[in-house]
Every structure is written in C-alpha cells, then in structure tokens.
Amino acid sequence: MPIKMMQSMQVQSFRHVISVLVAVLCIASDAAAVVVAREITPQEAIAQVQREIDEKVLSVQTLNVGKGKSKIYRIKLLTRDGQMRIVQVPAEQ
C-alpha cells in the first residue's frame, strides 16, 4: 500500500475515534447534569429564601405545574412594612 494511502486511512481512523470520544463525552455530561439535579424540601426552599430575603415566612404551598408536573414552592412572606409578598422557588435544583 502506498504511504499516502496509509496516512489517509490513519487520519480517517483518528477522526472517527475523536468523533466517538466527543459523542461519549456529550452523553456523559448530560448524565452528570441529571445526577446533579435534585428536589429540595419545603424547609430547604424556606432556608434559601431567608438567606436572600430578611422577611417573615407566613406559609408554604407545594404546587405541581406544567405537563411534566414540575414542583414549585409558593412561599408567602410578610415584609417589614406589613406588606404580603409571594415568591416561588423551583423544587428541582
């Protein structure tokens, strides 16, 4: 076999190996992203809100929304000036 033909076959083989590795890495990163996401509890959602906003929590409701039935926590807060405020926190984080 001529040397140029062998080099061409090696380059094609190398390109194939690289494309397979890229595909495997993409699949692995998607799987890792799925593993990282987890559902927080209502208590964790409250703690998260209280770290960001210094207001009194009045109540928490769990709501299922959308076709996939994703869960959110609806947290009712009382501001320092007596106003009611509602924030929503996604359960999956």
Residue type, 18: I
Q: Where are the domains of the chain?
A: 1-36, 42-90
CB 40 within 8 Å of CB 91: yes
CB 2 within 8 Å of CB 20: no
Give this prediction's pTM: 0.59
The Cα–Cα gap between 39 and 41 comes to 7
pLDDT per residue as tens digits for the range 19-70: 666 666 666 565 555 556 789 999 999 999 999 998 999 999 999 998 878 8
- Rounded to 5 degrees, what are φ and ψ at 45? -65, -40
CB 89 within 8 Å of CB 72: yes
